[in-house]
Amino acid sequence: MRILITDMPAIMRSIIEDAIVAQPDMQLVVGCPPPIRHVDEPELPDVVIAGMENVEDLAVPEAMLACWPRSRIFMIAVSGRRAVMHELRPFRTELGELSPAALLAAIRSERHRSQSGQTAGDGGTEVSGR
């Protein structure tokens, strides 16, 4: 598993690096890999760990997921007291036979779901490619 550590205070970075290098199934990525060109490029990180003042700020993990959509993004508060993980997950909903009216209803239900704050897990199937 390839792990990239970024934007981390030195002491916290050292603690995390020490924990990772002791694991035979984990490898630290040195530097910052280029943004995605092909999703399956071998040098892309599987995990990105970043330090942030406010782990509720979505701009940074959204930008990272745009660059590395198959990576899991761990945002760790620089205080070390809180962490949040972000990841994209393919989601599939079986619609069955589809008429034009059923298609329009499905489109409206997806818009309604996103506006109401429902998550992808509310009535569909998560598709795992990992």
Report residue 77 as tokens: 């508060």
**Which comes out higher in pLDDT, residue 96 or 57?**
57
pLDDT, one tens digit per residue, over 62-90 is 999 998 999 999 999 999 889 999 999 88
pTM recorded for the entire structure: 0.71
Q: Mean of the per-residue pLDDT values for the chain?
A: 82
- Measured CA to CA, the distance from residue 92 to residue 125 in angstroms comes to 5
The DSSP result for 39-78, as a single string, is TT-TTS-SEEEEEES-TT--HHHHHHHHH-TTSEEEEEET
More confident residue, 108 or 31: 108
